[in-house]
Structure 1
């Protein structure tokens, strides 16, 4: 395990505002948040926070903007969204920099998410003039002609989490706008810098004022947004604790919600798998690139007994080769976790797993770095073996650089272990036997299954979980259909 030097630490931070209609406010009624650079542990910017008053104002403005945006021609909505995609691409380097500022994800890793954000924006721009419905009947006993309409909801309340601030915006806003809705967005106060640039580019693209409103805030701002009577639907990315509160608030008005939540995804490695690919994927996604802070990552590795020791040796070697350090260094593969609370929580999970009998084979400690990074929230990539599949480590989302490895003997046992969780976001299967891969994919209780290291977040494939991993889809037609109401019409 190596450490990247701290000679490239970037300490500059842009100002953050509340973007409400044509207003660009430097303060909010909920006070301020002291943003901490997770790589140094030091406050690096004071962030204004929206309160219920600003949320109410933003929703009212979005409601007014909806009246004209919904009647804007699909071709014009497409043109504006394509312009936004072009601007994101032109500012890709700056988004990569801001992503590293936001949460400490290495700049090189952020670049991949920025590229996906451009793809998502262009993809949904293309849907704007392709939304159609169907004829349901042309001749019935009473002579009725029936057809359907897909219509926008109105104002969509969007709340995003901190681990992918730009990609979370791109997975929601373009689809909502292409469908004819307007949005009020509450980014996490932990990661405000990418949202600031996104809001600036929305205006530069020529999207009318009030169509997109972005205002960082805390939990109170999120609650005000969800419960606002003029918010017609909620799209949320985050954890199940907050999701339950959102569902309770939405239930008051029978308001629908899309909930993209966490995961405890299994990566099933069969004895005939390409072990280079299987171990590389499973290790880098679970304890490397984003320090394990991803909802769909394969944080449980289930390994067939005949290759168990070989896989364990390979995974350990990969984990110990990961370079930890400054998110702005091109050699860094893993940065810090998001804040001190996460740092303490993850180390607590590691201690509990050791006490419960899981065998620690690599990592397991805070990573002490030098210089400007001495106060950063770094944790060693951590690998546990002989993990009881029903233990806390195997059942609960860690959201940190911790991989749990469990042995299995048969295909049936692997499926049983994989499905023995309340989560159901992603599943991974490593095998050269296509029939087995398809068989196991059908049996896994998840929103998606990736066979042999298939890529994550392709824009044309629906993404979203079952169970504790949430409800609803992002990506593909399902992603835009979430922002459309289906209406039936009959003509006698």
Structure 2
């Protein structure tokens, strides 16, 4: 097993800067920000932020560079994407260490993700000579449809899976022949900046990719810029509503991948061992993920058994330093996230809408040692007998907090699962194939996993939500088509 050690000097990996069109810069008009190690709370880097001025420059550069990138022969553009995929695998150890330093994800888990299977760049490289338009013979003519790149894409990304979020949006956009201005989150910009350097190494032409770490000012300027042809946003519905309002004057189309409050339905005939192992996903990235099954709906006949298994399984999860190979859960990203999650837990304990079955506290020196005493660790937490109308059951907590509810009938289970403003993912556990497919059809979500299958499935399948989980798709051919437009050409043919 590859062991990734904590670097003595984190600044070696956490390289600051701004990639504005073809040039790297050390300063920006958005000021500077400190980054703290999520595992220790100590400052480990100071870095520059972009502002509206850099957005304007990057968009101008993207518009200048995109026509030539679009015109590249398909095999040449394909080879660049393949090199990007290979570089991600080759630099997996460094990328995993960056993820651990800036987000707190266990490095061993990130390394497995970066080295296991195709990247989105490999996948979309394979589509370049296959995604074509149609040719139809019409009375008196020949009708052609042409797939063309949409133009310049603004990619506004969240912090929980920085490189994964880059891949799902940027790979398809580049494959389509678009130029991309990336706004990584101000809390975690370093994976995106590393990606910008990999783009140059892979042969992406200067100006085709910009990387502008920054706050809301950068996102707002990108959305409002008339030179941006589409926005891809990963984040929460509150910010998405503001983006929609800002995009309205220019009618800029949006791809929105938003939050979730995903339910896992466990029927009495389910494989309970498998269902409870699946529930341990609540610790994945410390619960900071939109598809994580944060609600577990359990049939009353097996409820007590499942609850006992959940508590035992989560109590055994190793929480610790993201660079410890044994750690399966690290800290939350920052102090604000830690305080927010603990506040949700505290409210639930006070208002009587659930029973605390496990966890509920911040982990400090007595659990983790003096070196991690200042880190943002929250224990894996389980609430039982959760009120379906409570905050625990309805709001996205974005922390390692599992809400367990009971149901009596299949219809009640589906009703509880659908009683959410979100509609990103749902999960079904049953040995009855008819029931599995029936419930999957009834769930008002964009993605369903059955008997331990997760969501998303990787680059091969379309992924996206409904309701307040957003609209549009990443992954699969649908993800590529998000960044194309169809032109119709009618050719008159003499009979």
TM class by shorter-chain length? over 0.9
Q: What secondary structure, in the 3-state scheme, does the structure 2 residue paired with 1:88 have? A: helix
Query: Does 2:261 match 1:264?
Result: yes
1:235-260: CA deviation from partner (whole Å, max 9, x where unpaired): 01011111111111111111100000
For residues 79 and 100 of structure 1, the distance between their equivalents in structure 2, rounded to whole angstroms, comes to 30
- With 423-432 and 371-380 compared, the bigger mean Cα shift is at 371-380
The match for 1:12 is 10
Query: Does 2:460 match 1:460?
Result: yes
Structure 1 stretches of at least 4 aligned residues deviating more than 6 Å after TM superposition: none
Q: Residues 429 and 11 (structure 1 numbering): CA distance in 2 closer, same or farther, change over 3 Å?
A: farther
Alignment of 1:20-419 (within 5 A): 20-115=20-115, 118-135=118-135, 137-140=136-139, 143-282=140-279, 284-286=280-282, 288-357=283-352, 358-369=354-365, 370-419=369-418
* Superposed CA RMSD: 1.4
Q: Residues 112 and 243 (structure 1 numbering): CA distance in 2 closer, same or farther, change over 3 Å?
A: farther
Q: What secondary structure, in the 3-state scheme, does the structure 2 residue paired with 1:191 have? A: coil
Structure 2: gaps of 5 or more residues = none
User: Contact between 2:447 and 2:455, CA under 8 Å: does it hold in 1?
Assistant: no
Shift of 1:145: 2.6
User: Contact between 1:109 and 1:289, CA under 8 Å: does it hold in 2?
Assistant: no
For residues 252 and 39 of structure 1, the distance between their equivalents in structure 2, rounded to whole angstroms, comes to 43
For residues 127 and 259 of structure 1, the distance between their equivalents in structure 2, rounded to whole angstroms, comes to 23
Shift of 1:338: 0.9
1:391-427: CA deviation from partner (whole Å, max 9, x where unpaired): 1110000000100000001111100100010000000
1:80-105: CA deviation from partner (whole Å, max 9, x where unpaired): 10011111111111111111011111
Q: What secondary structure, in the 3-state scheme, does the structure 2 residue paired with 1:331 have? A: coil
User: Contact between 2:297 and 2:407, CA under 8 Å: does it hold in 1?
Assistant: yes
Shift of 1:455: 3.3
Shift of 1:116: 6.2
1:411-447: CA deviation from partner (whole Å, max 9, x where unpaired): 1110010001000000000111111100000000000
User: Contact between 2:265 and 2:297, CA under 8 Å: does it hold in 1?
Assistant: yes
For residues 47 and 184 of structure 2, the distance between their equivalents in structure 1, rounded to whole angstroms, comes to 12
For residues 50 and 117 of structure 2, the distance between their equivalents in structure 1, rounded to whole angstroms, comes to 26
TM-score of the two chains, using structure 2 as the length reference: 0.95
User: Contact between 1:117 and 1:167, CA under 8 Å: does it hold in 2?
Assistant: no
The match for 1:4 is none
User: Contact between 1:116 and 1:167, CA under 8 Å: does it hold in 2?
Assistant: no
Structure 1: gaps of 5 or more residues = 1-6
For residues 350 and 116 of structure 1, the distance between their equivalents in structure 2, rounded to whole angstroms, comes to 35
For residues 153 and 303 of structure 1, the distance between their equivalents in structure 2, rounded to whole angstroms, comes to 45
